[in-house]
Chain A
Amino acid sequence: MGETFDVAIIGAGVVGGAIARELSRYKITVALIEKEVDVSFGTSKANSGIIHAGFHSPPGSLKARLAVRGNRAFDLLAEELGFPFERRGELTVAFNDEEAEILRRLYYQGKQNKVQYMELIGKERAFQMEPNLNPDILQALYAPTAGIIGPYEYCFALVENAVENGVELILGEKVKEINPAKSARFYGEGFKIKTEKGLSINSRFIINAAGLYADEIASLVGLNDFRIFPRKGEEYLLDRRVGNLVHRVIFPVPTVKSKGMLVIPTVDGPVMVGPTADDVESKEDYGTTREGLKRVFEHAQKMIPGIRNKDVITSFAGLRPVATGNDFIIGTTKVKHFINAAGIQSPGLTASPAIAEMIRDILLHEGLKLEVKRDFNPIRKPIPRIRRLVEERDFRPVRELVRENPLYSRIVCRCENVTEAEVVDAIRRGHTTMDGIKFASRARTGRCQGGFCTARIIKILQRETGLPLEKITKKGPGSELVRGRLPKGVTV
């Protein structure tokens, strides 16, 4: 790549994606570099999908300020980018006087953070809102501004829209070296970024949004002033059949380390429980544990007794990037034009739109000229889904979709009622791994976990991309689905 980008963003999770989309409004050149083969494949893919109200973080912290600001941005973002978002509200429940005291503190903390419409409510009201709550609760803190979104859909939408507006997305390239540009001895006149595969990318500014690996990226320019510690969160997804046990996100009173283990309604319907919060040694420790499962369900059942672990259809673990100091690290560094957006743990998803604006302002302050593009297109159109229509027996719009696009008549994933039209759309939007297609279309997320549709998706993917089966992966090289053809090439 011969040209010099104005800005190179390293890391295409929700933070990098939100920054890329924000910067795509201006007449600058932006590269978004991701080590995985698809976006949102790191910490973002294991996010709980909650847009927090913002009362959890201490007043004055970046976390608090950006979460409250970010929260307010989501109505417009969801409308423009067409990802699912619902302001369902959060209910934090206290079981005794001690916990009720913490609720009051959270309430005042929220006030200081400028969270709007919070209320401390009694047991009766809490029950009216959530009839499946444990009858032993004493009090609850209700925060109606909280919401739920599809976290990877949000990330996909951000990046798609950024690319539509001119951002160059570079996938599957892990940054290995960052050198001063033009063989200068100092950073400042720009950077020459080299990837493991040998790609060279020049840019004037670098935004470090590398999540778990942000400390390693910073150290490539000699910055060793913070470290990222992985903190694991295990989540368990319940069968859709369990139904709407909760309408709002249900929290216990928080602990020092985390907001506690929650009962989370998802925008797709099924209920999720988790996450745990355990510091782990390795940035690759994505294993769920027997002990974690037990803990999650003990906590969840305390709040919603009707939850049972036999209804789990799948589980996963994500790693939060926790920085030294526990707050977000956002800002300029000793290296000129190298800007951090690091340590973005919870409420990072909520804060992401505000983080993007903050980075934009920093760039402006650092002398990057930002002139608005007249032809910026803020709209990203989602593909219509038939699942809810079929569930609600609203067949007329389904007929219309089928008439327009016959691929809507082919159900690929019968658990979640995902059609071939939706799978093809996911592939054409650039998601060419099994996990990418899963996140983008929801095929394989239901109770059979791909038993039925995996073979079908493989066929569609082969047809759409021309890839041989040996090259089809779950999540990039090293995760190929099969290990070659039959020795004799038997066909039946």
Chain B
Amino acid sequence: MKRFYDAVIIGAGPAGLAAALSLKRNGIEKILLVEREGYCGGVLTQCIHNGFGLHKFRKELTGPEYAERYIELVEKERIEILKKTIALDIIPLEEGLTLYLLSEEHGLPEVSARAVILAMGCRERNRGNLNIPGTRPEGIMTAGLAQKLVNIEGYMPGKEIVILGSGDIGLIMARRLTWEGARVKCVVELQPYPGGLMRNVVQCLNDFNIPLYLSHTVTRIMGNRRIEAVEISPTDETAGPKERGRFIESCDTLLLSVGLVPENELSLKAGVMLDPVTGGPVVDSNLMTSVPGIFACGNVLHVHDLVDYVSDEAERCGEKAALYIMGRLKKKREIPVRTGNMVRYVLPSRIDIAEPVHLSLRPIAPEENTHLLLKANGSVIYKKKYRKIMPGSMIRFEAKNIPEETESLEITFEGKTG
């Protein structure tokens, strides 16, 4: 028996929860939230450190606390949730979308939806993506898996730890494992600047005297059963790893915190077009993907730095999806937004200039005292000064009052003199 919904949301992490609530508040009744785990909240449930919710709730919450606030609201709104259920496939039809779900309780039901919101989040890059030479022993894992083992299961992954990559989860785990008695020997970062938030570098490394080797990388893994040591080499941006300055660090565990990848296997099945830079779907001002009726928000769209921003984006996404379902989504004239100097990506990459649009972007490299410029047909229509920009921190702003005759928009950073 096929069931019909107005909206199906894939993933009940922070993005999915906020999107569900927003749909409901915008007048949509028949909503289904699909979650593969037996609980909601996604990765937040293993993030027991605090620092969540500063923007959204003006309060420092832990991950589970932040999730709980949304879960309570979703439950209060009596939004239907299918837990322990995986979405196998989404098939776009002339009218609406068909989804195939798989769960122990319900088997393999076919579900129909007028709109689908993708909120599957992201996953961690791993050793295979990096091609680190050497052996393949136990003791190499992503920082997120280590976090789960420690925080959820109560186990120590190792006692002498080297962390490759200075992403936020790696930094958080450096502190967490130190607290639990492990010796974190160093954090190694390929780039000349840290990958995570500055506050995490200070609170998780500096406060514990954990060395951070910038412009270094792991060039070899040693040990056949359990990892025994890693070879660490300085790197040169153009030439790659250098021999001079190379050293061996013994360890029993190598944690990888080398970036996150939006998880879009399902999106690809549905025929959604992806952006090679963000790894997430290409979306318009309404956060709608290239497939009509399929929307995306949160880390499946692009990797965020703060969960608060994920929630914001998901709320906007729910609002737009609600309008779409009610047949009231306006679309006037879309123009592309180009990325200029120092901008890695801007999202959405094409916008409808009739209405104000929230833009998110990330810089390519750190810079101090620079200006963010929005140019319409070459002339600056928005300017904001930034004391410091970092690739680890996302920048958001609202673009509005764009002149009607605009043919091209560009987002760019200008140098110190700009």
Binding site for B on A (CB under 8 A): 237, 241, 284, 286-290, 292-293, 309, 312-316, 390, 393, 395, 398-399, 402-403, 406, 409-411, 414-415, 434, 447-452, 454-455, 458, 469-470, 473-492
Contacts and interface: CB of A to CB of B under 8 A. Distances in A.
Contacts of B253: 483
A483 B252 contact: yes
Nearest to A455: B148
A289 to B, nearest CB: 5
14 contacts: A288-B134, A289-B133, A390-B89, A409-B107, A414-B36, A455-B149, A455-B152, A475-B138, A477-B225, A483-B158, A486-B150, A486-B156, A486-B180, A487-B156
A458 B148 CA distance: 12
A482 B108 contact: no
A406 B226 contact: no
Interface stretch (B98-106, B283-291, B335-343): B98-106
A293 B135 contact: no
B219 interface: yes
B224 A284 contact: yes
Q: How large is the interface on B (under 10, 10 to 19, 20 to 34, 35 or more residues)?
A: 35 or more
B107 A490 contact: no
A315 B135 CA distance: 10
A409 B265 contact: no
A491 B46 CA distance: 11
Given A449-B128, A451-B123, A454-B145, A395 B100 contact: yes
The 3 closest A-B pairs by CB, nearest first: A478-B225, A474-B138, A314-B128
Contacts of A292: 133
Nearest to A286: B135
A451 B252 contact: no
Contacts of A398: 102, 108
A401 B154 CA distance: 35
B226 A402 contact: no
Nearest to B109: A399
B158 A479 contact: no
A313 B130 CA distance: 9
Contact of A293 (B104, B131, B221): B131
A455 B46 CA distance: 13
A315 B154 contact: no
Nearest to B268: A241
Nearest to A477: B225
B11 to A, nearest CB: 12
B159 interface: yes
A469 B138 CA distance: 14
Nearest to B160: A483
Given A316-B136, A474-B137, A451 B144 contact: yes
B131 A411 contact: no
A233 to B, nearest CB: 14
Contacts of A452: 123
B143 to A, nearest CB: 10
Contacts of B102: 398, 402, 409, 411
Contacts of B151: 492
Interface string B228-255: 0000000000000000000000001100
A83 to B, nearest CB: 24
Nearest to B137: A479
A323 B108 CA distance: 54
Given A475-B225, A481-B157, 4 more contacts: A290-B219, A410-B104, A479-B226, A483-B157
B153 A469 contact: yes
A480 B138 contact: yes
Interface in B31-75: 36, 48, 64
B155 interface: yes
Contacts of B144: 451
B220 A287 contact: yes
B141 interface: yes
Given A409-B103, A409-B108, A448 B126 contact: yes
Given A474-B138, A483-B158, A293 B133 contact: yes
A159 B290 CA distance: 50
A448 B123 contact: yes
B142 interface: yes
Greatest chain B CB density within 10 A among A313, A414, A458 is at: A414
A395 B150 CA distance: 38
Given A288-B134, A390-B89, A393-B89, A492 B48 contact: yes
A315 B148 CA distance: 25
A221 B48 CA distance: 60
Contacts of A479: 137-138, 225-226
Contacts of A312: 128-129, 131
B226 A287 contact: no
B211 interface: no
B181 A482 contact: no
A79 B8 CA distance: 43
Contacts of B126: 448-451
Given A482-B155, A482-B156, A492-B64, A451 B131 contact: no
Contacts of A409: 102-104, 107-108
B136 A486 contact: no
Contact of A483 (B88, B145, B159, B265): B159
B78 to A, nearest CB: 25
Contacts of B103: 409
B127 interface: yes
B155 A486 contact: yes
A411 B154 contact: no
A485 B224 CA distance: 23
A399 B109 CA distance: 9
Contacts of B138: 434, 473-475, 479-481
B5 to A, nearest CB: 19
Contacts of A399: 107-108
Contacts of A284: 224
A488 B181 CA distance: 10
Contacts of A476: 225
Given A288-B134, A479-B225, A449 B127 contact: yes
Nearest to A393: B89
Nearest to A458: B153
B86 interface: yes
Nearest to B253: A483
Contacts of A434: 138
A473 B224 CA distance: 13
Contacts of A489: 154
A479 B136 CA distance: 11
A449 B141 CA distance: 10
Contacts of A415: 265
B325 to A, nearest CB: 26
Given A451-B126, A469-B155, A480 B226 contact: yes
A175 B252 CA distance: 29
A243 B412 CA distance: 37
B358 interface: no
B344 interface: no
B84 interface: yes
Contacts of A286: 135-136, 224
A395 B108 CA distance: 8
B367 interface: no
Interface string B259-279: 000000100100000000000
B295 to A, nearest CB: 21
A289 B131 CA distance: 9
Contacts of A474: 137-138, 225
A451 B145 contact: yes
Nearest to A452: B123
B29 interface: no
Contacts of A455: 145, 148-149, 152-153
Contacts of B155: 469-470, 482, 484-486
A258 to B, nearest CB: 20
